[in-house]
Structure formats: structure tokens, C-alpha cells
Structure 1
Amino acid sequence: MIHGLRYHRNAPHSITGTTAELLSIVDTYAPPQLSFARLVPTYQVLLRLFYCCGLRLSEGCFLRRSCVDLIDGVLHILQSKGNKDRIVFMSRDVCHMCIVFDEYRDGIIPNRQWFFPGGKGDRPFEKTSLDRKFAQFWNKTAFTSRVDRKPTIQSLRHTFVVNKMNEWMEDDVDTGIMMPYLSRYLGHSSIAETQYLSIYHAAVPLKTNLLFFTIIKNSANAMSESNVERFMAKYANEARAQCISVPSKVHPYMFRRTRATQLLRHQNNKPKSQFG
């Protein structure tokens, strides 16, 4: 039995490549009741904070207005998971988005306590309500029938991590050096929490340093090359049903060569200095 890729109910789900359509649906959303129209800007801004800053659901919903520094572009996350505080920096465009939203909400609820007030105004936005609304938005995308399990708002946080790591790799940044900073930014207790692949081993009562392994006679062993090739052939056949350009024979080295080609093209497209 293969445990290295074993499904776990808490496995992170990234929706990289689908967020553009999802956010477009959020932006064009027209609630059935006019009284709910005032909540649309909250959906638009709050979901983007999850996606652009990697916030947890509770951190966004329970964000106090006093904890949002719109001058320096900083979010002060207080007493989050593990009773930890941290600072989250916003990009310039995200900060501008929050400034516009703050002015809009201040015109409706002056001197409000919560940055994202709920329906009654004097309480924060309810997590369950936002969860349900996110599910409605996702069900309107073209991807709703193409996934084995539906994503949640937490998936936006995972997507932030994936996008950031992809960005570093494209820019030839050492991810090993940057991981501690990313871990701190996310509010993790240790770098191990940021290494999302490790959760695939959570249900395995074996001590092993192997990332992908098989269990033979209650012992963890490195996955053989033939096993890897067999899995790749299996999923290539499934992918070929939807994409005819998938080669008839797929080999692990294809990924290695493809990645090398991408890096070479990226390097060649970089602007040259006057010194060559």
C-alpha cells in the first residue's frame, strides 16, 4: 500500500489557475435581495485578502478596524491560532483596495469596531455565512465538476503559499532560505507546518524521513522507479481523455526536462545589464 500520496481529509487544496474565474464571479455577483447588496464589497475585498495575504478564515472575519494600518499597509493579527500575534504586510494594490472599502463602509457604519462588519453591523462577519457564500461562488465556476472534492476558503490560503513558492522558483530564489520567513508570515509555529506535503504521512504510524514511500512488511521503503512510472502512466491515460496532446508514453524525465526548458527560457527572457 502506498502511503506517500495517501489522501487525508485535511490535505491542503490549492486552486491555482481557477482563482481568476472565481473572483470574477464574486465581482459580478448580484444578490437576489437588494438589502444584501451592501455585503457584496465585503465578499470582494475579504476573499482577496485570503488570496493575497494568506489569512486564515477567522483572522479575516474577526479583523478589527484598529488593527488595519492603511498608512503603512499593515494588518495586525492578534491572538490567532496558538494565541500568537503577527504582522502581515499588504501589497500596494491590496492596501488601496482596503482604503476604498474602508471609506465605503465608514459612510454606512461610522466608527465601526470591525473592519468587516456582519449583517447587524455591531458584530464581525460570521465565518459560517462566508463559508456558505464561498461554496455558492465556487459552484458557479466551470471547475465545480472537475475536482474530487470542493475547495473551501482555506484553499485560498494554500493557493497563496503555492503561488509564492512558484514565484520564488521562477525568480531563482532559494526556497529553503525563504521558508522560515513564509512560515512566520503565515503564523505557523514551525517551518514543519509550512511543509504541506508532510500531512500525507499523518495517518502513518511509522518513523521515516522519506517523503514518498511504500509499506512492505510494516517497514517504510523508498518508492521504486517502476512504481513511479506506473502511476504516471495511469494518470497520463486519464489526462489524455481530456487533453489529446498528452504523449502516449509519459516518463518522469519529461518533467525534469520540461522544468529545465522553462528555467532556460525564463533566464533568456530576463533583461540584460549593460555589462552583459
Structure 2
Amino acid sequence: MEWGPTGAAAVPADYAVVVDVLSFTTTLSVALERGIEVFPFRWRDSRAAEHAVRHGATLAVGRFEAMSRGDARHVSLSPASLAEVQGIERLVLPSPNGSTIAFALAESGAQVVGACLRNAGAVARWLAPRVADGASVVVVPAGERWYDDTLRPAVEDLWGAGAVIADLLDGLESPASASPEARMAVAAWHGAVLPVDLLNCAGGIELADAGFIADVEISARLDVSEVVPVLVGESFRDATALPPPGPRLRRVGGPT
């Protein structure tokens, strides 16, 4: 387990789990629950709109921009708003933090997975047979950014990481090694009390004070989702809905 974009680049692994509870990966899970393919994007500017046009997708706007619009139909980065939208099949989700981490991990060769409290158990169950076969996993709590762009560790992401790791370790028939950082995340998760702690942590208070308490409440719902977001090319899709990989071919009469 390592924090943020720098930590994501520091620990190579076969599978990399991004955790951004408030709210990138929570929004991601809600979208996939509704059958929406999600295109994460690093920037929140005109490039995001161009990216949406290129993929025939709807562009999610910022929470405050959505509030300022007079029309009732809008899609924002708020998971609560996504829980109510209709008729959207593809969504561009700008997130300088979560998206940057996801693409950095993908460029390292890892299979990138999105996790939050809503789908921690589902992600762990999907990973378990792969770990049992010898695969390595790094879990990356995204954290937030201070005004000088340095990493601001976010306790809700530590809890989300711990929830995934705890369920993964519990789901393995044989013991697996976990780093001290991973075990620390599990201990933090076991000490959390939901939804109270999520509402009272720094990130939860900030969102609630800004009028987005529904986002915090949705983010606090543990294991209500079975989606496993995996990054395939430029978009996140639900691994449980993808066709299984084809059989691996063995060469006959030559080296294997």
C-alpha cells in the first residue's frame, strides 16, 4: 500500500487498486452500477469536452457548476447526482487526482481496479483467485491535494484501502504476506465506525458544509455494490460483465 500518484509509481504490481472514496471511485462504482462506461480524464478544462466528443460521451461537470445550472438534468462528479440520471451510456469523468493515478498505474503495466467502500468486498473477491495464483497487488489510497499541490492524506481513503485488503486476506485459503503499510490500513479500517466517522472526517465535513451530505452518505454504504471497475484501454468497465479471457494457447513441438 502506497499513497497518491508518487506512491503508485513506486510499487510495481500485477494488479493496482485505486481508492478515492470522496469521491472519484465512489462515483465510478455508482456509474457502473447503472451500466455507464466511464472514461476517466486527467484535466477539468476544454480538453475534457473534446475528449467527451471524441468518445461520444457525456461530460460530467463539477459539483458547484451543476448546482448553478437551472436545468434539472445534469451529470456531475457527485455520486448522488449519478444515482438519478437516465439515458447515459458513456461518461467522461474528469478527476486530476484519481484519473492521474489510474493512468500512471496502467502505464506501469498493472491491471487497474477502482475500489471504494461500496464495492470493497466485490473487488477483494475478484482479486482473491488471482492472488492465490501468485499475482501481486498494490492498493493506492489517492488522498487529496493541499493548496501547494502536495499530498494530503485522507483517512477515508485509508479506510477504503483497509477494507479491500482485509477482505482479500480473509478470502484467501492460504496465508498471504502483507506489508506493514497494508496491515496499518487494515487496523485503521477495523477502528472506523460508519457512517459517523465518514461524516465527521475532514473530507466528509467539507462536502457536507458545501451542501453535498448525500454524497458522503452514499459513499459510506459498505458492500452494497458488486461491480468491479477495471480500466480497459481508456475506460472503466465492470469486470463481472466482461467476457472471460480466452484460453492460453500452448505451442506444440517447440519451446514453451
Q: Normalising to structure 1: TM-score of the pair? A: 0.28
Which protein is richer in helix relative to its size? 1
Q: In terms of Rg, which structure is larger? A: 1
Which protein is richer in strand relative to its size? 2
Q: Which has the higher contact order (CA 8 A, sep 6+)?
A: 2
Q: Normalising to structure 2: TM-score of the pair? A: 0.30
